[in-house]
């Protein structure tokens, strides 16, 4: 288990959405389907292009099987999942 540091709340939120999506083994399309949002919207949220409203955050959190406030907590995380996220194309592009 590791603890990560984030520059701001938005980066923490984005990472947590990805983290819990990976933890649940959901694709972006599956998360979109479960939350009632479009796959494009989920992609844009994870890329930092959109900041979800509270109702959308609630729908995302419910789909991820967590309480919405958990998306704003910097908890210890499973290193294997963090490594998967860091190796994704979008994550690497965002941080270049």
Enter the pTM of the model: 0.86
Q: What is the pLDDT of residue 92?
A: 47
- What are the backbone angles phi and psi of residue 95, rounded to the nearest 5°? -95, 5
Domain that holds residue 40: 9-94
| CATH code of 55's domain | 1.10.260.40
- Asked, for residue 15, whether it belongs to a domain, the answer is yes
Residue 71: half-sphere exposure toward Cβ, Cα within 13 Å: 26
Q: What is the pLDDT of residue 30?
A: 98
- Asked, for residue 4, whether it belongs to a domain, the answer is no
Full pLDDT tens readout for the chain, 96 residues: 888 889 999 999 999 999 999 999 999 999 999 999 999 999 999 999 999 999 999 999 999 999 999 999 998 888 989 988 888 765 545 544
Q: What is the pLDDT of residue 77?
A: 86
Q: What is the pLDDT of residue 86?
A: 86
- What are the backbone angles phi and psi of residue 5, rounded to the nearest 5°? -110, 145
Q: What is the pLDDT of residue 95?
A: 47
- Asked, for residue 84, whether it belongs to a domain, the answer is yes
């Amino acid at each position: 288990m590791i603890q990560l540091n984030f520059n701001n709340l938005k980066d923490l939120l984005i990472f947590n959405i990805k983290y819990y999506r990976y933890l649940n083994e959901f694709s972006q399309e599956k998360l979109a389907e479960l939350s009632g949002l479009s796959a494009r919207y989920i992609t844009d949220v994870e890329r930092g292009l959109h900041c979800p409203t509270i109702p959308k955050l609630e729908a995302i959190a419910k789909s991820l099987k967590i309480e919405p406030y958990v998306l704003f907590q910097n908890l210890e995380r499973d290193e294997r999942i963090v490594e998967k996220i860091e190796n994704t194309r979008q994550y690497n592009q965002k941080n270049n």
